[in-house]
A and B are shown apart, each in its own frame.
Chain A
């Protein structure tokens, strides 16, 4: 039986979709069989970030409403064709159309033949959030280092605690080493002090993330940069490895700004 992990946040636009794609690919690279599920019904874009938008035939609502089998809706990644699959969202439905029971059943079935199901969730704490969280064993909460993002994350962590979630860990995204050194950005320690959950990843703020997503390529698959490394290390920690965190405060990440 695999693990289902929801990637969530309070505030929108903090990097859930980006992180779902990159962690999914990194776990697949670790020889795991992975399905990434887009639960942002009506606003799908995990397919676009992965460059798979032209391959979609069926989506998760088709499965839920009995128009196709799960296997027919899964789309192979272009590179990791045996280990990474996308279950796309529907673009025509709204979040209110989601039958939480059916979705939970689908995720359960997928877990039987895969190691990981990563569920990308929509912004907000309404029905869309509930349907994304309902079928998850664990949760990854994504924040960016700013007051409103951390505040909203605190709300979400409170909601997650009232559910059957086994573990909730934190990913700090868009960490900017220069701003950190100048003390112009919330540091990881302050964020952890407030939120009180375990840290599992720190992802640098890196323009290449946007560049890769424009091209529909997953950065972690094609790069050896510090950002790619941050994604890979996070995947290893999800696997249970004790990987030390890259030290952003002291040395900065020259690898990012130096020769390429």
Chain B
């Protein structure tokens, strides 16, 4: 059932879109030299720390690794929904 749903999802996407998504994920791993589990673990730990100070939306995090001026830049976009009461 779930498998069929996933297949359906893939069928609707063009192979270009799939290629693009796979490429982005592979590149993040290659550039950071982190395996997918480590990458997830790093993200979660960072979010835990930030979450101690700010209310954040964990569902809409964007992670990318870019090259700028010969440096590898890890970019994380975290939507902030407010500050924690205790900080005020």
Contacts and interface: CB of A to CB of B under 8 A. Distances in A.
B70 A161 contact: yes
B33 to A, nearest CB: 11
Contacts, number: 46
Interface in B33-86: 66-68, 70, 72
Tell me what chain B mostly uses at the interface: helix, strand, loop, or mixed. Answer: helix
A151 B23 contact: yes
Interface residues of B, number: 18
Given A157-B67, A161-B70, A194-B24, A151 B14 contact: no
Contacts of B26: 147, 151
A154 B67 CA distance: 10
A134 interface: no
Contacts of A106: none
Contact of B16 (A151, A155, A187): A187
A190 interface: yes
Contact of A151 (B27, B66, B70, B72): B27
Contacts of B14: 182-184
Quick one: which of A154, A155, A182 has the most chain B CB within 10 A? Answer: A154
A186 B20 contact: yes
Contact of A150 (B16, B23, B31): B23
Interface of B: 14-17, 19-20, 22-24, 26-27, 30-31, 66-68, 70, 72
Interface of A: 146-147, 150-151, 154-155, 157-158, 161, 182-187, 190, 194, 196
12 contacts: A146-B19, A147-B19, A147-B23, A147-B26, A157-B67, A158-B31, A161-B70, A183-B14, A185-B15, A185-B16, A190-B23, A196-B66
